[in-house]
Structure 1
Amino acid sequence: MPVQNAPIAYDFHGDQPFSVPFADIKPEDIHIYLDLDTKVGKNTCGQKCTHCWFVNYEKVYDRSFAMEEGPLIKAGLESQGFHVYPRYVDSFAYDGEFMRIYGPANNREFRQDADHTPTETMAKGDAWTSGRPLLADNWMELLDLARESGYGTISITYHGVIDENLAVVDDGSYPIKGVFSGALTEEVLRRIGKYNEHWRAVSGESDDAFRVNIGVTVGRHNHGRQSLERYVHYFNKLGVDTVRFNNYAAHGGKHAELQLSHEEIAQAYRDLKELHETVEMSFQLGVSEDFGTFGIKVMGFPGHVGWCRAGRQLFAAIPTPEETLSEAGGERREKIGDIVGCVNTFEPHLGILVRTTAEGEEAGYRVEFDHDAIEAFTAKRLSGHYKDGCFARELAEEQQLVSRVPERRRLPIVETAS
């Protein structure tokens, strides 16, 4: 029986046709993820997920821009018209220092309906977290800081399988290791709920201080209609505001057996569409663009959805060792970062981030795109060399992007009392 659920949310990073020359795309139509800090461990996310892209790719392992320089880079690129999204491992990293510096940041654009209406998540800042920092003793202070900094949503990455009794399977069998468990996520949700109650009591406001978004990674360990429907009922019970499903990717070749086939992805789209039409959802359903385009038509999304704009309207700027490019007439040009297409695999290389300094003047920051490389990459997509709208897996296989990060001692995870 049909039900009336909120529209399905999708990712949005532009809709310029691939036939438009890159030189004709305005900066205002380009989104840049500024990877300010990729350090994984107890001071940031508190985890070390075996499939994390920041763990598996040497070019982004343990990198950062100087804390004081990040805002200058962001302001410099925004002054040129780019949409810049500061990105770090966890919004609550370093006891919320990034919140103090950058204010109400968003990690991407979420839209709904054919006219690209922004979802409710976009109304305020969106604090993304593993959940681990909110188990610390200062969790109330961290949530105070988030609210005072202009955040209205807490987005938590969820890892857990739900059984027939709508309980988290918490027996150590979850195949992706190093993650923040679903059982612990329940405690974080209780804390956010407690904070919302406290906020309403002291402020007299009727609305909660925070919405809660959940991101569920789907792979062969938890796909299929029955499993997806259990998530729906489970999160209905927990009272969250958005549940966004994303497709498992074997970054660095880790847990490749969990990746869905094209046929399984098409079935996942059918399952999600049917659930949205027949099962009442107290939250907004979201579907990540990383599921790609095999079977996507059933969703009824605008035609561009699923065809990732990475490498044309979406790029990541990642820190690199500084390198002097030129020095003349009192002006120095230094490369301080790489510009890459896919924001999850950090390939292909499509430009550089440059700092320009001159005596007596403030530093300037510019992106220098490699137009030839961008057009060559676009041509490969138009020719069908990459068949999926999310080209990340094909690119990883083509470039043999296996983990080349040496095995390192895992950072200790400190359990805290609730």
Structure 2
Amino acid sequence: MKKPIIYDDHTDPSKTELHYYLDTRLGKKTCKALCEFCWLKRDHLSQHVEEPEVAIQRIRGLAAKGYTVLPMVSDTFAENGKYLKTELFYQNDEWYFENAAWSSGRPLLQDNYEELLLLCVKNKIDTIIMTSHGTEDKAKDFKGLTQPSVVIKAIENIRRFEEKFGYPFKIILTFTLNKENMSVKTLTSYFEHCENLGVDIIRVNRFADVQDQYPELRMTKEDTIKAYKIMKQVYDDHKGPLQLSISEDFGNWGVEIMNFPEGVGSCVAGERLFGVVYPNVYVCPVNLTLKVGEIDDDYNIIWDQEVIDSLMDAKKHPDFGGCIGVAYPHFKEIRDYFSDLVKHGV
């Protein structure tokens, strides 16, 4: 029997999530990549890093206030496993994929990849998520991308580790859909690629033009509706055991075809979901731009009600589409709601 499509679930009204970023740096110390359209490629995030001991104390303080806090780094294997050597990620199962490590794949090509994977075992991490920019190496439209061959080699190293140590990992590859590559043919090729690699789950994200450089790749409402139909069609037609996961950044235009529970695809960022780059609290954990609060010395969040009110108004706009992380960079009409408020980055 075909497994159900996985969706990002923020439908529990009793739960308020803080994605706590303690390292947002890109490059050689973390992900070893500099993807041009990465949501973390922002001037105000480029040097942010906290010592794990400090972050742990702050995370505990916020958790004591009733928040569900997820520690986030730009790559789980950053600094040769520095963060994995602490309790930050031990049995951290609040994410949709429970105990998961996120990586560009590049750190797992190092000579010490076994050591890094043993740290995963120590932390009860059983899932590794990597991004694949297509299915084969070729010249890319974007700078700094990790070529698919890197991810393939990382998977090979993971499989060698599994055979040697008897510890199985679930592997997830993520792909980004935009206006140009959104087609049955392309998505089918992604499915076949993952199936050939023995990947467990393919996850699909929607391109967000955070740096405001590629307006021609932005999906319109009609494109997004079409994308949902394509994703469902390709998954229904696919015969292998590969499972599909759809990111919530596709929003709610056309989401009804997926038969997800009510509320899936409708943004709760700024309501029950936030990003933290201490001491700042942002409306959206992906679009870390609109500051909505600040954490004080006692781990209380001092909220900016004007930002919250503006966000609620913006969500009623016909261009909103169910995801502030996409709508904010794509639509001036959405940004105008926040024109007089504190913003960082774009």
User: Fold match, TM over 0.5?
Assistant: yes
1:342-391: CA deviations, max 9, x gaps?
22221322110122xxxxxxxx422222244323422332x336531013
Alpha-carbon separation, structure 1, partners of 2:218 and 2:165: 42
SS at 1:134 equivalent:
helix
Alpha-carbon separation, structure 2, partners of 1:386 and 1:35: 29
Alpha-carbon separation, structure 2, partners of 1:351 and 1:404: 16
The equivalences for 1:143-292 within 5 A come to: 143-160=117-134, 162=135, 168=136, 170-172=137-139, 174-200=140-166, 208-292=167-251
Q: Which residue of 1 aligns with 2:38?
A: 52
Alpha-carbon separation, structure 2, partners of 1:301 and 1:190: 34
Q: Work out the number of aligned pairs and report it.
A: 337
Q: Does 1:351 align with 2:318?
A: no
SS at 1:100 equivalent:
coil
TM-superposed CA distance for 1:66, in Å, is 3.6
**Which amino acid counterpart does residue 129 of structure 2 have in structure 1?**
S
Q: Which residue of 2 aligns with 1:342?
A: 284
Q: 1:98 aligned to 73, 76, 83, which one?
A: 83
Q: 1:37 aligned to 13, 17, 23, which one?
A: 23
SS at 2:228 equivalent:
helix
Question: Is contact 1:5–1:276 with CA below 8 Å preserved after alignment?
Answer: no
Does the C-alpha gap of structure 1 residues 243 and 70 become closer, same or farther in structure 2, counting only changes over 3 Å? Answer: same
Q: Which residue of 1 aligns with 2:50?
A: 65
TM-superposed CA distance for 1:61, in Å, is 2.3
SS at 2:155 equivalent:
helix
Question: Is contact 2:70–2:95 with CA below 8 Å preserved after alignment?
Answer: no
**Which amino acid counterpart does residue 188 of structure 2 have in structure 1?**
E
TM-score by length of 1: 0.76
SS at 1:99 equivalent:
coil
Alpha-carbon separation, structure 1, partners of 2:219 and 2:311: 25
Question: Is contact 2:172–2:202 with CA below 8 Å preserved after alignment?
Answer: yes
Alpha-carbon separation, structure 1, partners of 2:303 and 2:224: 33
Question: Is contact 2:7–2:247 with CA below 8 Å preserved after alignment?
Answer: yes
**Which amino acid counterpart does residue 138 of structure 2 have in structure 1?**
D
Which structure dedicates a bigger proportion of its chain to strand? Answer: 1
SS at 1:53 equivalent:
coil
Alpha-carbon separation, structure 2, partners of 1:65 and 1:354: 17
TM-score by length of 2: 0.91
TM-superposed CA distance for 1:294, in Å, is 1.5
Q: Which runs of 5+ in 1 are unaligned?
A: 17-27, 111-120, 163-167, 201-207, 320-336, 356-363, 406-418
Q: Which residue of 1 aligns with 2:267?
A: 308
The equivalences for 1:14-33 within 5 A come to: 14-16=11-13, 29-33=15-19
The structure with the larger Rg is 1
Alpha-carbon separation, structure 2, partners of 1:403 and 1:175: 27
SS at 2:300 equivalent:
strand
**Which amino acid counterpart does residue 271 of structure 2 have in structure 1?**
R
TM-superposed CA distance for 1:86, in Å, is 0.4
Greater RCO between the two (CA within 8 Å, min separation 6)?
A: 1
**Which amino acid counterpart does residue 179 of structure 1 have in structure 2?**
L
Q: Does 1:395 align with 2:328?
A: yes
Question: Is contact 1:38–1:89 with CA below 8 Å preserved after alignment?
Answer: yes
SS at 1:309 equivalent:
coil
Q: Which residue of 2 aligns with 1:10?
A: 7
Question: Is contact 2:71–2:89 with CA below 8 Å preserved after alignment?
Answer: no
- Percent identical pairs in the alignment equals 28
SS at 1:304 equivalent:
coil
Does the C-alpha gap of structure 1 residues 105 and 59 become closer, same or farther in structure 2, counting only changes over 3 Å? Answer: farther
TM-superposed CA distance for 1:14, in Å, is 3.2
Does the C-alpha gap of structure 1 residues 154 and 29 become closer, same or farther in structure 2, counting only changes over 3 Å? Answer: same
Q: Which residue of 1 aligns with 2:59?
A: 74
Does the C-alpha gap of structure 1 residues 108 and 307 become closer, same or farther in structure 2, counting only changes over 3 Å? Answer: farther
The equivalences for 1:321-400 within 5 A come to: 337-355=279-297, 364-381=298-315, 383-384=316-317, 386-396=319-329, 397-398=331-332, 399=335
Alpha-carbon separation, structure 2, partners of 1:77 and 1:244: 30
Q: Does 1:85 align with 2:18?
A: no
Question: Is contact 1:54–1:61 with CA below 8 Å preserved after alignment?
Answer: yes
Alpha-carbon separation, structure 1, partners of 2:91 and 2:282: 21
SS at 1:191 equivalent:
helix
